[in-house]
Structure 1
Amino acid sequence: MNLSHFRTVGMVALPLALLACGKRDDDRNLDSLDNELVEAGSGGTNASDPAMTSALHDQIMVDPALAQQSNADSVRPPAQPYSGGVPPVGIAQSGGGTTGAATSETIKSTPAPATKDCPNCQAARDSLTLGALASRQKDKSTSGCAGAMRYSARWAEKLPADVPLYPGARVAEAAGADTSACHLRAVTFSTSAKLQTVLDWYYTRVTNGGFSAEHQSDGTEHTLGGTRDRDGGAYVLFLTGRRDGGTDVDLVANNGG
């Protein structure tokens, strides 16, 4: 064996010896702690913590009566997926059936719009709330009371007798004002009845009640509005046909109650 071979073996052995000598005291302490924990968990003869050994090896006790009560108040999954469908408009209707026009009155046909202009239609499109819609009306007592309106579904039950809620209508929103100077109501509702049926029904009611009736339309939207001289009452209806054949309506009436 030549000298170069001994040099090579020496170069390999020297770093190993240095590593062995250079192991830190804290590493040895960690090794000792690990061994103690292993012995304690295994129940060996050298276990230094009887409490830990007992906790790890004793049998778990279970009360069958309490186990049956586990998650008693938890929310259980549904039996089938939830539906995102919207109920049909007529599902909550009553009294008037599908048209909602049950009445002893002889229904009159609404005259055709006098012109193709429909300023009220544009006012309805520009109004985001019932209050804004009321404020845009030509009747000064109606527009002047718009700022006093408050929102609540109960206003739908306080419409004037001559401009009532359409039979079987589904109310979406309602607002109103009752002060010494203001008796204003506004309601948004829908019905499964066709637009012309709703229009004719209201035309019959308001004209029989002494109101004037001006019909406007831009082809897709219709309005019917008028006033009554004997008490200063006023009303306006905004009607739009629905894709399902029904009608959406905004109704503003003054001097209700």
Structure 2
Amino acid sequence: MVIRALKLGLVPLALAGIAACSEETAPPPVDVLAQDPQLARALHDPLMVDPDLAWRTEANAVVAFRDGHPLPPIEAREDAANRAREASRLELLENGQIPSLPGYSGDSGVSLATVATADGMLDAVGGRTDCVPRMDASLSWSTRMPPTSSVMPHGMVQQAAGADVGTCVVRVVRYLVPVAVEDVLEYHFTKVDRERFDITLYKTPEAQLVAERRDQKLSVNVRPGPGGMTAVDVVHWRK
């Protein structure tokens, strides 16, 4: 009988143990972003929009650029502008003081506001149109820009095309950024000035920076964009 009582006595003890376990405090939620910096960076990186996915009714044109593609609602809020401006200046200050912009040339440059194709952009700025057949459209080209032509921090890439075959090394990128035209010019001017390019600034028909040296040339066209943003076209090619 004693043995039977002992065995029966184990049952309430076991049940009490289970109840105690169920009452333990649940562990605090894990901060996944804090433990995974790559995931955090991916979630907070600048947004890029693939025009071929956004505009499914059009055939997948290889190097066609069109401004009519639907884009997410974008507005250049003051806080966004401040963050973009601060990020660009911090990047530039890592390599020294930021030089002042030179005066504008008295001549006129070219406008890319109504140009919708990569070959049209290359032709308008005097680039190597012979490389157009070797170009393809992909947002990945915006991540393969030369340091002198990199996309400004917080820039939202709309379209990109390029070629890197033989002597054809071309990059064409169009992006939006929530800062003023002068801020964009300061960023791109500093980049090319530090690499000893010969630089000319044009004010009309839109702001344009043309930079050139022995082996390469680039053009940066800047103008007011939608929603208070600034639209930027960067065309860079090897001669």
Correspondence 1:225 to 2:210: yes
State whether residues 172 and 190 of structure 1, in contact with CA within 8 Å, keep that contact through their aligned partners in structure 2. Answer: yes
8 Å CA contact retained: 2:136, 2:163: yes
Q: Which residue of 113, 122, 127 corresponds with 2:115?
A: 127
Considering Cα pairs closer than 8 Å and 6+ residues apart, tell me whether 1 or 2 has the greater RCO: 2
1:87 CA displacement:
3.6
Q: Provide the residue aligned with 2:218 in structure 1.
A: 235
Q: Indicate how the Cα distance of structure 1 residues 208 and 126 shifts in structure 2: closer, same or farther if over 3 A, else same.
A: same
RMSD: 2.8
Q: Rg larger in 1 or in 2?
A: 1
TM-score (norm 1): 0.57
1:252 to 229, 235, 238: 235
Note the C-alpha offset of 1:113: 1.5
- Report SS of the residue matched to 1:251: strand
Task: Please tell me whether the aligned partners of residues 76 and 228 of structure 2 are also in contact (alpha carbons under 8 angstroms).
Answer: no
Return the letter of the residue paired with 2:234. Answer: L
* Deviation at residue 127 of structure 1 after TM alignment: 2.2
Residue by residue over 1:151-209, the C-alpha shift from the partner in whole angstroms, topping out at 9 and shown as x without a partner, is: 00000000002221111110000000111111111100010011101101111110101
State how far apart, in whole Å, the 1-side matches of 2:174 and 2:120 are: 13
CA distance in structure 2 between the partners assigned to 1:207 and 1:87 by the alignment:
31
- Shift of the 125–197 alpha-carbon distance from structure 1 to 2, 3 Å rule, reads closer
Displacement after TM superposition at 1:138 (Å): 2.4
CA contact (8 A) 1:136 1:143 kept: no
Task: Provide closer, same or farther for how the CA distance between residues 244 and 86 of structure 1 changes in structure 2, counting only shifts above 3 A.
Answer: closer
* Compared CA separation, residues 244 and 174, structure 1 to 2 (3 A): same
**For residue 187 of structure 1, what is the aligned residue in structure 2?**
173
Residues 136/218 of structure 1: CA separation in 2 closer, same or farther (3 Å cut): closer
Counterpart of 2:99?
108
For the residues of structure 1 that align with 2:72 and 2:159, how far apart are their CA atoms? 21
Give the counterpart of 2:183 among 189, 197, 203: 197
Preserved CA contact (<8 Å) 2:147 2:191: no
Which structure 2 residues correspond to residues 32-51 of structure 1 after superposition, within 5 A? none
Structure 2 vs 1, CA of residues 240 and 131 (structure 1 numbering), >3 Å: closer, same or farther?
same
% identical aligned pairs: 20
1:138 counterpart SS class? coil
Q: Aligned equivalents of 1:97 and 1:255: distance in 2?
A: 33
Distance between the aligned counterparts of 2:121 and 2:75, measured in 1?
Answer: 27
Matched, 1:136 2:124: yes
Instruction: List alignment gaps of at least 5 residues for structure 2.
Output: 1-70
- Where does residue 154 of structure 1 map in the other structure? 140
1:182–1:89 Cα change, 3 Å: farther
TM-score normalised to structure 2 length:
0.61
- Judge conservation of contact 2:98–2:190 (CA < 8 Å) in 1: yes
- Please give the secondary structure, in 2, of the residue aligned with 1:201: helix
- Summarize the Cα distance change of 1:147–1:126 in structure 2 as closer, same or farther, 3 Å threshold: farther
How many residue pairs align between the two structures? 163
